[in-house]
Amino acid sequence: MGFAQCEVIDFGCGKGYLSALLTLRHSINVIGLESNESTVSSAMSRFRKISKQWPVLKKRLTAPEYVVKETPGTFCVLPCTVRRDLNSDSYLEKPETYLLCGLHTCGSLGNDIAEVFVQNERNLGLCFVGCCYHYMEEEFDRRQPCDGHSMFPLSAYLRRKQFFFGKNTRMLASQSVDRTLREGRKRLDVSARSLFFRALLQILLVRSILPDKTDNLERCDPDEVRVGRIPVDLQTSFSEYAEKAGKICGFPAAVLGPECEEVFQQFKSVEVHMKIVNLLRIVLGACVEQVMLLDRLCYLEEQEGIAEVGLIAMFDPVVSPRSWAICARKLQQPVQQS
């Protein structure tokens, strides 16, 4: 952001990949905040190892854009659960002005960072990339209990609408249009087959495992059975898929086996429709993510004292589907030390 004296606070720094880069290559003093205490120790251990090897490693950075300063900055990681009322000044020995950043901030962490940025005048810069939107809490979704901090939406417009997505819709935001298109038709067909088999499995489970629970698929509790990801290709049969699911969920093969082929034959004509549904999911997933990003962007635009707010394509979306960064800069001049 161009401030002469600027610390960086890296929210959810993980093992310190971004922090180490800023510290060693750009001589920036970085404080990492990480909620997982075991990750805190791993980050510091990793940084110490890289620091010892840095004199050799930096010689390999010969391209003009990789300008490396002679004296590295400092880096430390502190255990911290980030909340919107966090006093970021408390983590700096000599608080002046600083920038808040976060690389792939899961769930509501992106909302937390935006609110922390707004609340403290010393936070002059902000740059973060969202991630894992299915973990994000929503204020107006009554079906999902939440603890009331930094919930979606943040912007005044969506709050007036009492807008919410629901978890299933937020899951769509994890779809990657660019990566799917790069991988081509085969990948689309495999993805659709996996979705189709999961739908068939639900029918099979209701018929064979949960007949005493409900006769209505819509009333079946989706949390009762967790299958996870089962590898599927175009040669995988539904019987093979159901067998793997049975092992994961602890259902005996004798229960699932007899009806597998019957269910598949009954609904096999639906698979082509599932391909269409899958395409819509992938396309609409990008729209869902954009609404979440724009909500954060509008929230920052609504605040007083904000000079600039921008939504920037930071990464190659094929390599990193979560590629959009929200950046902001305040109007305030750097705070003078007394």
Q: What CATH number is associated with residue 31?
A: 3.40.50.150
What's the Rg (C-alpha) of the chain? Answer: 24
Q: Helix H segments across 129-252? A: 156-160, 167-172, 177-183, 185-208, 238-249
Q: What is the mean pLDDT of each run of 10 residues along the chain (338 residues)?
A: 63 91 88 90 91 80 58 86 80 78 90 91 91 90 73 94 92 83 81 88 75 45 66 86 80 67 89 87 89 96 94 90 93 56
Say if 1 falls within a structural domain: no
Contact predicate 30/75, CB 8 Å: yes
The number of folded domains in the chain is 2
The structure tokens listed for 253 are 């093969």
Say if 133 falls within a structural domain: yes
Say if 136 falls within a structural domain: yes
Nearest-angstrom CA–CA distance, 128 and 102:
4
Q: Report which residue type is found at 178.
A: D
Which residue, among 134, 100, 111, 105, has the nearest Cα to 300 in the 3D structure? Answer: 111
Say if 299 falls within a structural domain: yes
Say if 54 falls within a structural domain: yes
- In terms of DSSP bridges, do strands 30-34 and 75-79 run parallel, antiparallel, or are they unpaired? parallel
How many other C-beta atoms are found inside a 10 Å radius of the C-beta of residue 66? 10
Q: How far is CA 70 from CA 20, 23, 55, in A?
A: 15, 11, 9
- Note down the domain range covering 315: 8-174+285-330
Which residue, among 296, 284, 278, 194, has the nearest Cα to 236 in the 3D structure? Answer: 194
Domain shared by 146 and 294, yes or no? yes
Domain shared by 242 and 133, yes or no? no
Which residue, among 315, 296, 311, 335, has the nearest Cα to 117 in the 3D structure? Answer: 296
The structure tokens listed for 298 are 């509008």
Say if 44 falls within a structural domain: yes
Domain shared by 165 and 52, yes or no? yes
Beta bridge pairs of residue 101: 10, 127
Domain shared by 289 and 242, yes or no? no
Domain shared by 102 and 139, yes or no? yes
Domain shared by 105 and 29, yes or no? yes
Contact predicate 174/285, CB 8 Å: yes
Nearest-angstrom CA–CA distance, 279 and 177:
9
Contact predicate 131/118, CB 8 Å: no
pLDDT for the residue numbered 215: 44
Say if 2 falls within a structural domain: no
Q: What is the pTM of this model?
A: 0.80
